[in-house]
Amino acid sequence: MGSEAPENLAMASSLQISFSSSTGETEEEELHVLAVDDSLIDRIVIERLLRSSAYKVTTAESGPRALELLGLGEEESYENPKVNMIITDYCMPEMTGYDLLKRVKESKTLKEIPVVIMSSENVPTRINRCLAEGAEDFILKPLKLSDVKRLRNHMIGMSQRCGLSV
């Protein structure tokens, strides 16, 4: 660890986005992740890992529930969901993670939100299909702390595309 270690630790522990409000003042916002998984145990593990890394977490048990939380349910609302990233299981009943990814990327209001797909199965065609459709990453389950640290890079990329500073 050279002289860079304290900077890296400070950067890793400061998981907030700074942005200018309409009044020109700088505000800070906790990074918010929507975690979607039909398995209660997996949702709990994901939530605990993300919270231990200072993320705000909202969980959903299905793709349709995630769409409701994002304002894309049966009755679409065009409200900003204030989610910085979506992490979703691939294989779920009702709607796959791939189908959720497609709906998010087709939305004018949500398409810039990074979507990460998780699966316990290492299927190259599935992985390539998700990445081609716009997924930021494909992570093999179980989710690990090292995976959570990688997620921050995707949110930094999103914030830079949207003109925010992390």
Reading the chain (166 residues) residue by residue, the pLDDT tens digits are: 444 333 333 333 333 333 333 333 333 568 899 999 999 999 999 999 999 999 999 999 999 999 999 998 766 555 556 899 999 999 999 999 999 999 999 999 899 999 999 999 999 999 999 999 999 999 999 999 999 988 887 776 665 655 544 4
User: Please, what's the b/e burial string for 100-134 (b: 16 or more CB within 10 A of its CB; e: otherwise)?
Assistant: bbbbbeebebbeebbbbbbbeeeeeebbebbeebe
> 125 in helix, strand or coil?
helix
Q: Which domains does the chain have, with CATH numbers?
A: 32-159 (3.40.50.2300)
